[in-house]
Chain A
Amino acid sequence: MTETIAVMFIFFVLLFFGMIFYYRYVDASIEGKMDENAQRRAIEIATRFIFLPEVQCSGSKTYCIDLLKLEAFQKVIADDQHVDDYYYNLFAFAKITVQEVYPNTQQSWVVYDKPKQKFTSQKSTYFSVALHDPRTQEYRFGYVKMEVYS
């Protein structure tokens, strides 16, 4: 009888520690997966924006944004609520900023800004882009900063 109780005791102690360990592992892996998913979503939305025909450079150049198209796009989104709703379906709760690095470091464009009121996490991801100015035929250097809320 005593031996049975001792073995049962050890069994439950092991089961208890095993459950604690498993709970912590699952908890950490869920956090990791959520982080990974948020990061993926940020990359997905950034890619969607960079390859959007409304802003992409004409021709075969990738990671290139046409500045004339970008300025027009920014204006249309700001002015028209229906257009804004349409892009909400593409970008959801996010902020898209295009920052010029060279030659003019001060120039930036906030293209889309729809923050979530009560967000639990905010992920930022960056893509470098060439900014084409068709007026001067220059290709400036910059980056797209994508902030995604969830």
Chain B
Amino acid sequence: MILLRRGQMEMIGLVVIVLLVTIAFLFLVQFALNDRSDPHFFARKQLATSTLMALSITTTSDCVSGDGPQIVSVNELLKDCAVNREGGFGYNCKGKYSCAYLREELIPTLMAGSLDTFRQRYELRSILIQDPDPPLLRQVGNDGCAARTNVDTSGEFPLDTGAGLVMSTLLICD
């Protein structure tokens, strides 16, 4: 009788150990599945910030104003675009006014040589705060960042123009 009871006690002990191991195993599985760290976030963030910063000071010699040919920066063209949305005044770049030149020529060229070459999904957007629709500039590359989870932003780059504040943002995602 005593031997039988000791056998039962051993059995209960073993069952408890099996249960503990199973619970520990389940916890491990849960932690492993929840670990979704993204090692590329810093690279995306840096690329977004550096691209928007470099892009804003890049100059072009394609433009003329009332004073003749000028070397103007993207920021200056963006200011002109905010003030003269429909053109007619300000800069004329290869027969286009500032907004059209930025949208159709300069920004696509810069992006094609950089973010498109790195096969990076991105969305560049510049809006006039007082009148955000439609945006002054919107460039989407490699299907953009809609419905993506790993999205990083350059942050907002403000630019004071005669028409109000222009905010530019570049999103980069995987």
Contact = CB atoms under 8 A, between A and B. Distances in A.
Contact of A139 (B21, B47, B58, B106): B58
Interface stretch (A86-94, A109-117, A127-135): A127-135
20 contacts: A4-B7, A4-B10, A4-B11, A11-B18, A18-B24, A64-B54, A64-B57, A102-B106, A102-B109, A102-B110, A103-B61, A125-B43, A127-B46, A127-B47, A127-B50, A128-B50, A129-B50, A140-B59, A141-B54, A141-B110
Interface string B13-24: 011011001101
A101 interface: yes
Contacts, number: 112
Q: Looking at chain B, what size class is its interface with the partner chain? A: 35 or more
Interface residues of A, number: 46
Given A64-B54, A101-B110, A138 B28 contact: no
B101 to A, nearest CB: 13
A29 B35 contact: yes
Interface of A: 3-4, 7-8, 10-11, 14-15, 17-18, 21-22, 25, 29, 32, 35-36, 39-40, 42-43, 46-47, 50, 61-64, 101-103, 105, 125-130, 136-143
Q: What's the dominant secondary structure at chain B's contact region?
A: helix
Nearest 4 interchain pairs by C-beta: A101-B113, A36-B39, A128-B51, A141-B58
Interface string B53-85: 111011111000000000101000000000000
B155 to A, nearest CB: 13
Contacts of B49: 63
Contacts of A128: 47, 50-51, 53-55, 114
B146 interface: no
A2 B18 CA distance: 16
Contacts of A18: 21, 24-25, 28
